[in-house]
Amino acid sequence: MRILMVASEANPFAKTGGLADVASGLSKALAGLGHEVTLALPYYRKTIKPNLAGEPVGKLIIPVGEKRVEAEIRSTTLPGSQVRVLLIDQPSYFDRAGLYLEKGHDYADNAERFSFFSRAVLEAARFLDLQPDIVHANDWQTGLIPALLASEYRLQPWFQKTASVFTIHNMAFQGRFPWWDYKHSGLRWDLFNWRQLEYYGELNMLKAGIAMSEIVNTVSPTYAREICQPEFGYGLDPSLLARGDALCGILNGVDTTEWNPATDAALAQRYTLDTVKEGKAACKAALQREVGLPQKPDSMLLGVVSRLTDQKGLGLIAARAAELFRADIQFICLGAGELKYENWLQELKNQFPNKVASVVGFNEALAHRIEAGIDAFLMPSQFEPCGLNQMYSLAYGSPPIVSNVGGLADSVVDCTPESMGNRTGNGFKFTQYTSEAFLACVWKAVGVFQHDKPTWNRLIKNGMSRDWSWAHSAADYVRIYDSARSRVR
Ligand code: ADP
């Protein structure tokens, strides 16, 4: 199958969150299954390293509303794979400090930037004669692509048999813009209606992808069910319900070429299931040294790697920190985001200098060392479409402590006598979203860590021995691609 994967970020080109890991990990896995995969991204000049920038292969003129804007297409490959990468270059849109925002403010022309990108990708596909069977668009930045395909491009011979799949990575980010931004899309105005691209008088690019794709999916089965309810649907639950059986959930995988403790070059010591005890002990000592915590092998070291936002449940940790850190517990948090949480981390460090360490910023290598060096990972998210860090934690032998939502519900199996008996238990989950339930869940994990090493070791083993790679999920994507194609024949 010829697959054109379109995303606004992908590893190692540009990354702000899980989407980047998924875009590259899934593309590689699909190519590994023998499919011809092309990945299209904006060319962020300030972010993409020169050795990844490829070569120009052509220039196109893209209509953006009444403007005509040049797009230079650059071609390269995704490192370590057969995946071709197309970078869409237009400096006035993408040569900026941030991908979507700067200093906490979204770029005012985001609708124009991603309208341009969406059309440029389809024009580039035609120019390069790619004739994709599937265009796989991701998140609001590419939500116009299914609409462009359905209403314009499929009328052309190059795209007659091209079907679209749209993946939602987070309902909270919808790409909502004033109605007058719709003109940048160049789409017919009759599509600007409440069933398709319009939402309470505004343009909603996520809704465009949901309404206009052949198949829409999200990144875990539980989140696929949750977003059909008002609590998680962020206003688009009716649009999702309207898609019926064209909506499904596929759990993300782990890119095991990047996240594998047996081969991870960032670690002080690499390890496998057989060497996890010594390996993790060495990684823990090295991490404690690196972040300035006392080197106490028996103190339970909890970790967080996260965007610092309400979604990730930092409020629950903050609410119970004073009680938690009275126990023999250490805590390391790596993250960037809202100022209130950056300040909170600083205060926590001042209050518990020997127990709390934090690093504000984005640091890929340290994220790997944290996954390996901690004893348990905290992820008490309010909602979690899939979540990757809990799966990295499982693969690295660091049982996650999580809320029972979305992809966390689908990947973490709570430690109970039954789940330990059938060897599926791999972490700790709480269901009621209160700080009491969170704290009780952490105390349960601390109790097992401190007093029941056989169970703790079994949790590690259960987590590490499950296959978290993309193998299963990539096969599931092929199934939905087939189903999408059957809808345009
Ligand atoms: P989300 O996409 O909602 O941010 P995910 O768990 O799906 O959450 O993916 C987050 C990805 O971003 C993971 O690969 C995680 O390791 C990475 N990440 C988040 N914050 C940081 C940070 N400050 N430094 C390094 N990596 C980070």
In sequence order, what DSSP letters do the residues of 41-97 get, joined into one string?
A: EE--TTTS-GGG--EEEEEEEEEETTEEEEEEEEEEE-TTSS-EEEEEE-HHHH-SS
Strands 55-64 and 67-77: antiparallel
Q: Is the beta carbon of 467 within 6 A of some atom in ligand 1?
A: no
pLDDT of residue 54: 97
Q: Is the beta carbon of 37 within 6 A of some atom in ligand 1?
A: no
The ranges assigned to domains in the chain are 2-253+471-486, 276-465
**Are 459 and 415 a contacting pair, CB within 8 Å?**
yes
Q: Is the beta carbon of 433 within 6 A of some atom in ligand 1?
A: no
Q: Is the beta carbon of 365 within 6 A of some atom in ligand 1?
A: no
- CATH code of 276-465, in short, is 3.40.50.2000
Say how many C-beta atoms besides its own lie within 10 A of residue 183's C-beta: 16
User: CA of 4: how far to CAs of 15, 40, 72, in Å?
Assistant: 19, 7, 18
Strand order in the sheet with 376-379: 356-360, 329-337, 300-308, 376-379, 400-403, 428-430
Residue 234, sorted as left (phi over 0), alpha (psi -120 to 50) or beta, turns out to be left
Nearest residue by C-alpha to atom 22 in ligand 1: 362
Q: Which fold has domain 2-253+471-486?
A: Rossmann fold (3.40.50)
Cα 368 to averaged position of ligand 1 atoms, centre (Å): 11
C-alpha dihedral sign at 360, 361, 362, 364: negative
Strand order in the sheet with 36-42: 55-64, 67-77, 84-89, 36-42, 2-6, 134-138, 163-168, 215-218, 247-249
Residue 483 corresponds to which tokens in the numbers above? 């189903």
Say how many C-beta atoms besides its own lie within 10 A of residue 34's C-beta: 9
Cα 364 to averaged position of ligand 1 atoms, centre (Å): 9
Q: Is the beta carbon of 388 within 6 A of some atom in ligand 1?
A: yes
Please, which residues bridge with residue 218 across strands? 168, 249
Evaluate whether 2-253+471-486 and 276-465 have a shared fold.
yes
Please, which residues bridge with residue 330 across strands? 301
**Close Cβ partners of 285 (under 8 Å, ≥ 6 residues apart):** 268, 295, 297
Secondary element (H or E) of residue 278: helix 276-291
pLDDT of residue 489: 79
pLDDT of residue 104: 86
Distance CA 119, CA 142 (A): 9
3-state percent breakdown (helix, strand, coil) of the chain, nearest 5: 45, 20, 35
Distance CA 106, CA 141 (A): 13
**Are 151 and 187 a contacting pair, CB within 8 Å?**
yes
Q: Is the beta carbon of 367 within 6 A of some atom in ligand 1?
A: yes
In one-letter notation, the amino acid at residue 400 is P
Distance CA 357, CA 292 (A): 7
Q: Is the beta carbon of 373 within 6 A of some atom in ligand 1?
A: no
Distance CA 52, CA 34 (A): 24
Q: What does pTM read for this prediction? A: 0.95
Token look-up 């069933």 returns 195
Nearest residue by C-alpha to atom 14 in ligand 1: 18
Distance CA 477, CA 466 (A): 20
Average pLDDT along the chain, 489 residues, taken 10 residues at a time:
98 95 97 98 97 98 97 97 97 98 95 98 98 98 98 95 98 98 98 98 98 98 98 98 98 95 98 98 98 97 97 96 94 95 96 96 96 98 97 98 98 98 97 98 98 98 96 97 95
Please report the atom of ligand 1 found closest to the CA of residue 16. 12
**Close Cβ partners of 251 (under 8 Å, ≥ 6 residues apart):** 219, 220, 221, 386, 407, 410, 411, 473
Give the residue among 44, 51, 214 at the shortest CA–CA distance from 136: 214
